[in-house]
Structure 1
Amino acid sequence: MHLAADYSHRGGGRLGLGPFAAAVLRTDNRRRAIAGGAVLASALLLVATPRLRHSPALHLFADMRNLLGVPNTLNVLTAYPLLLAGVPGLILCLFGSGCFGISLRWEALGWFLFYAGNVGAAFGSAYYHLKPDDDRLIWDRLPMMMSASSLLSILVIERVDERAGLSCLISLLSLLLVSSACERILDDMRLWVVLNLVPCVAIPAMLFLFPPKYTHSRFWFLATGFYLLARFEGLADRKVYSVNRYFISGHSLEHLCFAMVTLILTVMLSFRNIKIARDS
């Protein structure tokens, strides 16, 4: 956009845009249209979908074995790799930001919330799986959704605009609280389902549509692959459990894949540098 503005200034107005600057504007408008269409599609999906009531079956996981006196043992234990992956990143965000390739203030906030969500999910998920019920469910869901929302907002900050990313972060975190209230008070899970779906679609789309600001962007693709795999394994909990001959369930593997996402992104932050100079 800055380049287009420079062309416009030198050419005496919009009609003076060169071919390259005009192409930049067209690409920018196309991307904004796609983003607006995605928001509209999410809203329409929310309105068109019938009310989704909460079901007690949500607490019935494929692997509910009690090993060594620990209920739902593997679902509990596999939550803690999130702690091992999240704590180093959280510490570096707080005290050693110079070790990470972060150049914008609100980007740093997004990464802090991402790592904090992972650490919270380690304890919250373990707490929930020790005795799965409605009262404990929020401690499992909110931290992970906070991490996913922060991750999407970080991409918006990095590849689109810092203010837009901050607005996205505030909006998504607010909607997470609203979705929890809707589920508990109105017995309606539609908003929660849509908020789970949005990062799965928006993050891969942004990786392809918007150029990276930093080097080592291939780590984003690797992390996104593990993120989508984690979501798939969570949905196919029983099928995955039966395929591997009842060794480990899809839900336990989901925890491990989320930990891999955090580890991959931490490595990326440690190595990357600014690739494209852009004003915040």
Structure 2
Amino acid sequence: MTNIPFLALGIMGLVKIHKHKLQGMLPDLYKAYIAFFTGLILIGLGSGYYHLDPSNSTLVWDRMAITVSFMSFFVLVVGESISTKTAAKLLKPLLFLGLASVIYWHLSENLGVGDLRFYGLVQFLPMLLIPLMLFFYGSHLSGTSWIFAILVVYAGAKFAELYDNEIFEWIGFSGHSFKHLIAAFGAYLFSKGLEVRKPIN
């Protein structure tokens, strides 16, 4: 059930794009916004599929969906901070890189190795680069605090994932499920930020 917020946020995001209700959108990055919100829908579906039949073969779809939204988010921050044209050119290569990291992990699992280093790099390196970009280059949109809030929420989601069993013992609610809710809140912050943030001339 904790995957439902992703479905709802993804669908609502696409509807808002269609109705031009996101004043913080940068037109050159239209495809990246579509990819981000589509990724949320895929996360909802992929997560549901995984929990119906937990295995590496179903987890791969969940992780692929995550990388679609994750890399799209990174591209969007590159666009608002450095250059929309550069970011637009990065969308396809970075989506490919993210998906490749999941495929590499899955193949390594089949070989009995389970190498998550590539996947981990794809997830954590952008989280280090984003604050650096905003610090050195600023943003073409108002309210960069929205992005920093999302980074904090992301860190909270990873904490919940790492301490899954401990959280269950503390509150009787699995850390994995808690991670879903925290991550969905991060997606909500991004969507809400697009409604209230404005381009800076």
TM-score (normalizing by structure 1): 0.65
CA contact (8 A) 1:121 1:143 kept: yes
Alpha-carbon offset, residue 79 of structure 1: 1.1
Residue identity opposite 1:249 in structure 2 = S
Residue 109 to residue 243, structure 1, CA distance change in 2 (3 Å):
same
Q: Which of 1, 5, 27 lines up with 1:104 in the alignment?
A: 27
Name segments (4+ residues, structure 1) moved above 4 Å: none
Q: Which residue does the alignment assign to 1:221?
A: 148
Alpha-carbon offset, residue 211 of structure 1: 1.0
Alpha-carbon offset, residue 98 of structure 1: 4.6
Unaligned 5+ runs, structure 2? 110-114
Q: CA–CA distance in 1 between the matches of 2:167 and 2:79?
A: 36
Unaligned 5+ runs, structure 1? 1-76
CA contact (8 A) 2:10 2:40 kept: yes
Q: Which of 105, 117, 128 lines up with 1:190 in the alignment?
A: 117
CA contact (8 A) 2:67 2:99 kept: no
1:81-96 aligned within 5 A: 81-93=5-17, 95-96=18-19
Residue 249 to residue 208, structure 1, CA distance change in 2 (3 Å):
farther
CA contact (8 A) 1:200 1:228 kept: no
Q: Identity over aligned residues, as a percent?
A: 27
Q: Which residue does the alignment assign to 2:99?
A: 177
CA contact (8 A) 1:207 1:221 kept: no
Q: Which of 22, 43, 48 lines up with 1:121 in the alignment?
A: 43
Q: Which residue does the alignment assign to 2:52?
A: 130
1:28-177 aligned within 5 A: 77-93=1-17, 95-105=18-28, 107-177=29-99
Q: CA–CA distance in 2 between the matches of 1:162 and 1:99?
A: 17
Q: CA–CA distance in 2 between the matches of 1:201 and 1:240?
A: 26
Q: CA–CA distance in 1 between the matches of 2:24 and 2:158?
A: 28
Alpha-carbon offset, residue 186 of structure 1: 4.2
Residue identity opposite 1:238 in structure 2 = N
SS at match of 1:100: coil
Q: CA–CA distance in 2 between the matches of 1:204 and 1:241?
A: 32
Q: Which of 140, 149, 164 lines up with 1:237 in the alignment?
A: 164
CA contact (8 A) 1:124 1:143 kept: yes
Residue identity opposite 2:149 in structure 1 = L
Q: CA–CA distance in 1 between the matches of 2:106 and 2:48?
A: 21
TM-score (normalizing by structure 2): 0.89
Task: Kindly indicate whether residue 127 of structure 2 is the aligned counterpart of residue 203 of structure 1.
Answer: no
Higher radius of gyration, 1 or 2? 1
Residue identity opposite 1:211 in structure 2 = G
Per-residue deviation, residues 175-231 of structure 1 (Å, max 9, x unmatched): 123223322334443211211222332223333332121122221121221112112
SS at match of 2:40: helix
Per-residue deviation, residues 135-194 of structure 1 (Å, max 9, x unmatched): 111221111111111111101111101232123322221112322332233444321121
CA contact (8 A) 1:152 1:202 kept: no
